[in-house]
Amino acid sequence: MKRLTLLLLTILFVKISYCQSKNPHFFKLTDTKFKVGSIYILPDIIYYTDDYNNSKYSCLDSIIPFFNKNPKLIIEIGCHSDSRKVAMTLDTLTLRRSQQIIGYFIVKGVPPAQIRACGYAERVPRYLEKDYSFKKENSYCDITFKKGIFITEDFIKTLKTKNEREAAFSLNRRAEMKIIMIK
């Protein structure tokens, strides 16, 4: 019982420290030194508000060698949503998204013991590690979100147009890899 309590407290601490951090630490797939809690945003998975069955996971194929080169890392695949309600709970939606990604990685040869699924729903707003620009011809509107901000509900409410808010919501709908343990 003590071990379970300690594990739950550790998980809670990691989640709280991520949410409270002014500057979360991000890692690159080419890095050779890692820190527990470091994050990598998975590329090119675009979720719509209530979508969890995205079949465009082939964009993740370039990440498979990372797992092979770093077998001592235990990685959490965490998915996040925006705050708008959908038919299922946001926890269920984001957990299913992360399970779908893990299933894809396992089929591609990543050992199941190396990855964990977590659905964060809307609880962890995105911290922008770089500038993100949207251009009207490809997206919702012309807007650039600057590096160093959190895409919180309060921030989204300050945006002037529905399209700007939609662009911000789309940034919060994401999938991340987080290092949760180094063996």
Cα–Cα dist 130/146, whole Å:
7
Using the predicted structure, report yes or no on whether residue 109 has a pLDDT greater than 90. yes
Q: What is the edge-to-edge ordering of all strands in the sheet holding 174-182?
A: 39-41, 174-182, 73-80, 115-121
What is the CATH superfamily name and number for domain 23-182?
OmpA-like domain (3.30.1330.60)
Cα–Cα dist 14/17, whole Å:
5
Using the predicted structure, report yes or no on whether residue 180 has a pLDDT greater than 90. yes
Give pLDDT, residue 4: 46
The reported pTM is 0.74
Residue boundaries of the structural domains of the chain = 23-182
